[in-house]
Each structure stands twice: as structure tokens, then as C-alpha cells.
Amino acid sequence: MYVRDAKNRDEVWLLDSLEELGLDDGSFRSRDYVIALDEESGEKAGFGRIRVHKTDEPFCEVTCVGVSERWRGQGVGAHVVERLVDRAAAEEFETVYGFTSDHGYCAQFGFEAVDAEDLPAGPRRRLDRVREVDGDAIALRLDREAFSMPERFRERFKVAAPASAGDAEPELTAEDFGYDEETPTKYSTNLRR
């Protein structure tokens, strides 16, 4: 399992995954995402976005972190968050924000709750927009040096494997598209004489 920057070819999967998990990314840009992949199968397991808000005082936000159901509980999300924080550091942001109602998860990495009144103008406006969709959202702040990865997530990530194959979507066949392989057609590659 490893985490890499998203590529253009990942866009369809990312958009489908965002929709499936009910995550809203009103300004989608695949280049802002990272993706966790299984090294052996190449299966995409999770994703997240680092969003730079270019206001008078630019700020950086970790957002749209999601893990496919088959890969949950194995440290995938934690490693996605770690990669996003590293990207924020590469962009020279000392502080990273998050706006979510799932603040317990983020606290494990060093994110701390911030009162809306104590936020700079840009992050405060962003919190207001997030609260239009998630009324329980709070602002979280992480100073880059305060990030910590719990060891249990590192250990789980080393041996991560998808949930049983029985839970996977069935492979589509020609019949799913109304095509009968036994009936020759103009474009058949399996003509039997």
C-alpha cells in the first residue's frame, strides 16, 4: 500500500468515489488529490484533497478524505492525511485547517478545535460555507510540526488488504450489456463455424 499524487486518469474514479461517499467538492481539481493504492493489485483504496484558498491571506485546507469501504480500519485514511500535510508543508504552509463534524478522527493526528471567533477571515468564511451543508462542523487547526501518526495506523497500513472478495462488485459480462456471445455479429471475434 502506498499514497501518491492523483493523475488525470484518476478523475473518473475520484468523482465516482466522492459521489458514492456523499462528499461535496464544488471546485474539483484532480491535481489537488492524493490516492492510496494497493501495490499488488493497483486497486485504489482511498483519497484526500489539499485545497489552497487564495484569499488576501492564503490558507490551506485538508478536505474530502475518503476510504473505500473494503479498505476501512487499516490506516489508509491516516496515511492519506499524512501525505496531505506533507504537501501543505511543501507549499510552505505552517498551518493546515480542516472543517468537519468528525473532529475526533482528526484529533488523533494533532488537529485542535478552534472557536470560529478566533479564526482569520478566510478560514471563518470557509467554515460558514461548510456549515451550510454540515451544521455540526467545527474548525480544526494543525500546526505542521504538531502532526503525529499513531503507530497503530502505521502497523495496519503495512499489512492492509481489502475486505473479502465476496463484498466486491461483480465483474460485468457481455450479457450485462445485452450481448449474446453465441450469436455471431458483424463485429464478433468469436465466430465459430
Cα atoms in the Cβ-side hemisphere of radius 13 Å centred on 186: 0
pLDDT value at residue 191:
47
**pLDDT category of residue 185 using cuts at 50, 70 and 90:** low
The H or E element that residue 138 is part of is strand 138-143
Domain assignment of residue 130, given as a range: 2-159
Q: Give the pLDDT confidence of 52-78 residue by residue, as tens digits.
A: 998 788 999 998 899 999 899 989 999
Residue 133, pLDDT score: 86
pTM of the model: 0.79
Residue 85's alpha-carbon distances to 67, 89, 95, 176, in angstroms, are 17, 6, 9, 43
Using CA atoms, how far residue 168 sits from 95, 108, 142, in Å, is: 39, 30, 36
The answer to whether residue 84 sits within a structural domain is yes
Q: Is residue 187 part of a domain?
A: no
Residue 192: inside a domain: no
**In a domain? residue 175:** no
Long-range contacts of 129-138 (CB under 8 A, 24+ apart): 130/99, 130/100, 133/24, 134/100, 134/101, 136/101, 137/99, 137/100, 137/101, 138/99, 138/100, 138/101, 138/103, 138/113, 138/114
User: What CATH number has the domain bearing residue 126?
Assistant: 3.40.630.30
Contact in structure between 64 and 17 (CB atoms under 8 Å) = no
| Confidence bin at 183 (pLDDT 50/70/90) | low
Query: Which pLDDT score is estimated for 168?
Result: 47
87: in domain: yes
In-domain check, residue 29: yes
| 183 vs 64 pLDDT, higher one | 64
Residue 185 falls inside a structural domain: no
Q: What is the pLDDT of residue 57?
A: 87
Number of domains in the chain: 1
Is 169 inside any structural domain?
no
